Amino acid sequence: MSNDGIQPVQWQDNQLLLLDQRLLPEQTVYLHYSKSNEAADAITDMVVRGAPAIGVTAAYAMVLAASEAMAVSADNWQQAMSPLIDYLAKARPTAINLHWAIVRMQACVDALDSSKDDALDILLEEAKTIHREDIQANKTMGEFASALLPENCGVLTHCNAGALATGGYGTALGVIRSGVANGKITHVYADETRPWLQGARLTAWELLQDKIPVTLIADSAAAYLMQQGKVQWIVVGSDRIAANGDVANKIGTYSLAVAAKYHGIKFMVAAPTSTIDMNMPSGDGIPIESRPADEVLGVMGQRVAAEGADSWNPVFDVTPASLVDAIVTEKGVVEQPNTEKILAMMQSSS
C-alpha cells in the first residue's frame, strides 16, 4: 500500500505485519501480530517508529482489539475493548498520532451497533482509510514543500522521517523525494542520529533504495556542515506540534534549529495535520519520553562507555516556533508559524 516498495505497516490475513526496523539495514524481517497488546509492545519496543507509522499501527491494533473483545463478549465487545485500548494508549507518550488514531477509531467503534455482523469489516476499512490518507498526505506535502526549495539545493535531515516512519512515502523524506524528482535538491546529508542511529541505518538505506545519493555525517558535524555552505534547508519531521508551532521531534532537532538560525539556513518541519495538537498551547506541555540508559552507553547492544558511567536519554526535544521557518502539512504551508496561522490552516478545507 505504500510507495517505492517500502511498506513498514501491512495488513494480511487478519494480522498486522510490521517491518522490524531494529534489524535494518542488515535484515528485512516482518513480524506478525494478532493481539492488540503485542502490537502496542511493538510500538514501545521500536519495532515500528515514527509518529505517522505509529498512528497507522494503532489504527490496525484497534481492529485487533475489537476482534479479541468480540471473542470474549459478543454482546458487549465495545466495553470489553476498554482495557486493551488503555494499554495501547500508553505505548509511547510523545507521538500524538497514537492518540489521534485511537480517538478516530474509537469514534467508529462508538457509532456501530454492537450486534452488527460486519462491524469488524467496517473498523478494518476505517484503519485502511487512515493508512491511505497518510500516504496521500505525505505526497501532497512533498509537492507543497518542493515549491519552497531553491535550485541546486542541499538539504540536511535528522532521524528518519521517510516511508519507514509513515504509512508510506514519508514526511521529511517525502519532501526530499519530491525535491529530487523536481530537480531542486542536488545533495542530501543525513545525521546518523544517536543513540538509535535511525539516520545511519534507516534514512541512508531508504534513500539508497530510491537511488538517491546520501552523505552521512556525525550529529556533531552538522553546524560545521552549515558553516561550509553545504546546505540551504534543514528538513525534519515531527512527533507532535503544539498549537503555537513549537515542534517536538527526535533529540538533536533543537540543536539543528539553533545552528541553522545562526548560519542563516532555513528550517522546515514536514508533518501531517494529525501531528498537530491544538489542545497543547505550547511545547512546554508536551510529554518527553525517556528511554533506558543503556541505549546511550552502548551501540547496537554493545557497551562502549566506561563501567560506572550513567546517562541521560531523552528521546525528543522541543524546537521553539521562533526557530521554524515553515511547517508543511497536507493542507498547506505555514511560514513563521504561530497560533493564529496554525489555527487558520487547521480550519481550512483544503
Of the candidates 191, 210, 239, 317, the residue annotated as catalytic is 239
Q: How far is 172 from 107, CA to CA, in rounded Å? A: 30
Q: Could you write out the DSSP letters of every residue in 136-162?
A: HHHHHHHHHHHTTPPTTEEEEE-S--B
Query: Three cell numbers at 104?
Result: 478516530
Counting Cβ atoms within 10 Å, is residue 2 exposed (0-12), middle (13-18) or buried (19+)? buried
Strand boundaries in the chain, DSSP class E: 9-12, 15-19, 30-33, 153-157, 185-191, 214-217, 233-236, 240-242, 247-250, 266-270, 276-277, 298-299, 302-303, 316-319, 326-329, 332-335
Q: How far is CA 155 from CA 52, 80, 144, 184, 198, in A?
A: 22, 49, 16, 10, 17
SS3 331: coil
Q: Is 239 a catalytic residue?
A: yes
111: exposed, middle or buried (C-beta count within 10 Å: 0-12, 13-18, 19+)? exposed
Residue 50, burial from CB neighbour count under 10 angstroms (0-12, 13-18, 19+) = buried
List residues with catalytic annotation.
239
